[in-house]
Amino acid sequence: MTDELKKEIEGARRSFLHDLEHVQSPEQLAALRERFLSRRKGQVSLFLARLRECPPAEKPVAGQEINRFKEFVEEALAGAEAARISASAPWSDPSLPASELPVGRLHLIADIQRRIEDIFQQLGYEIATGPEVERDEYNFTLLNFPEHHPARDEQDTFFLEGHDDLLLRTHTSPMQVRYMLAHPPPLKIVSPGKAFRKDDPDATHSPCFHQVEGLLVDRGIHFSHLKGTLEAFCRSFYGPDVVLRFRPGYFPFTEPSAEVDISCFLCAGKNSDCRVCKGTGWLEILGSGMVHPQVLRNCRIDPEEYSGFAFGMGIERVAMVKYGVPDLRLLYDNDLRLLGQFG
Ligand code: PHE
């Protein structure tokens, strides 16, 4: 009996070692433990159950054999478990300096957008965003674009196939309409977002670009409020010494309208070779004006009671002017050598 049991134990040991060598996962290791050490059906328990059949004289020897096998299995499993843990958690010294992690940054466009938003929020403006797919009515008609205005031309505008009245907004100004239709004055918003025009990409054009729109409507608002606001913004954004120049301009939705230039923040007009202003001393940065009375009327606001101003600036343009990005396409190339310098 003992000899027979010994042989079986030897067989079990070989089978155990074979399986242990092929264990590939913690689950397999647990299954192996279960197969050999489980109280009820484990191989060791089965051997112990057999002790009852042993002649009393052989019991102590047989018992010893089984116990030795049990210890062997336990040790081997503990060793395998320890090896697995140390392989999955390499030696570490918490006093070593941390390894360097690459740090993410905001894209320059997002960064500029947020800075502009911050400045206007400090002036009490709310941020309002709207859809990029826009109704013709909001993008053009209610903004007082005459029926045959060239900006409506298919040359400039992406229309949605099969939807005559839908387009990709060509500017962020339709948010003026949306906001005025939904909120009675007084109102004070900036609206950042994408705009789209059918332009071939070059150093200064992209079919998709970003703008920030501003709108303020209240009682007794006049041009000096627009000037003061833009001055406060530009001094905060470009530097305290910046001077603004308003030139007459034309937009169908503002009257009067003005293009705004800032004095060159790099050379202040003193360097005829300046890389930023090209020696002119001025940088064109935005379009603006007093909200046209017809636009107020279109948005159910009485122009006899209320007046307002609006402005719009291109974020890519700001990036080029302020950070000297020479080609707007660089902003869309996702090249970390450029993007890593900002944000
Ligand atoms: N929407 C105009 C543009 O895209 C900019 C603008 C906004 C002008 C608001 C005046 C007032 O060029």
**Residues 27-45: tens digit of each pLDDT:** 999 999 999 999 989 999 9
Query: Backbone phi, then psi, for 279, in 5-degree steps?
Result: 90, -5
CB 288 within 8 A of CB 311: yes
Q: Is the pLDDT of residue 1 over 80?
A: no
- Mutate which of 116, 168, 171, 216 for ligand 1 pocket (most atoms within 8 A of beta carbon): 171
DSSP secondary-structure letter at 332? G
Could you tell me if 130 and 39 lie in one domain? no
Tokens encoding 135: 């109704």
What's the rounded Cα separation, in Å, for the pair 157 and 126?
Answer: 29
Domain count, the chain: 2
What's the rounded Cα separation, in Å, for the pair 226 and 221?
Answer: 8
Could you tell me if 72 and 120 lie in one domain? no
Q: How far is the CA of 47 from the centre of ligand 1 (A)?
A: 90
Q: Which of 236, 253, 238 is nearest to 125 (CA)?
A: 236
Tokens encoding 244: 């603004």
Domain range enclosing 25: 2-88
Q: What's the angle, vertex CA 115, arms to CA 114 and CA 119, rounded to 5?
A: 115
Binding site membership of 120 for ligand 1 (Cβ less than 6 Å): no
Could you tell me if 243 and 316 lie in one domain? yes
Could you tell me if 54 and 126 lie in one domain? no
Lowest mean pLDDT among 20-29, 58-67, 79-88, 316-325: 79-88
| Structural domain includes residue 219 | yes
CB 198 within 8 A of CB 181: no
Residue 257 alpha carbon, nearest atom of ligand 1: 10
CB 264 within 8 A of CB 283: yes
| Structural domain includes residue 96 | no
Q: Is the pLDDT of residue 299 over 70?
A: yes
Could you tell me if 73 and 134 lie in one domain? no
Which amino acid residue places its CA nearest to atom 2 of ligand 1?
312
Q: Is the pLDDT of residue 163 over 80?
A: yes
| Structural domain includes residue 59 | yes
Could you tell me if 21 and 137 lie in one domain? no
Antiparallel, parallel or unpaired: β 254-263 and 244-251 = antiparallel
Mean pLDDT of the chain: 92
- What pLDDT does residue 274 have? 86
Could you tell me if 181 and 306 lie in one domain? yes
Q: How far is the CA of 171 from the centre of ligand 1 (A)?
A: 7
- What pLDDT does residue 37 have? 94
| Structural domain includes residue 94 | no
What's the rounded Cα separation, in Å, for the pair 311 and 287?
Answer: 6
| Structural domain includes residue 100 | no
* pLDDT per position as a tens digit, 180-234: 999 999 999 999 999 999 999 988 899 999 999 999 999 999 999 999 999 999 9
Which amino acid residue places its CA nearest to atom 9 of ligand 1?
311
Residue 176 alpha carbon, nearest atom of ligand 1: 9
Tokens encoding 227: 């000037």
Could you tell me if 63 and 204 lie in one domain? no
| Structural domain includes residue 99 | no
| Structural domain includes residue 304 | yes
Binding site membership of 171 for ligand 1 (Cβ less than 6 Å): yes
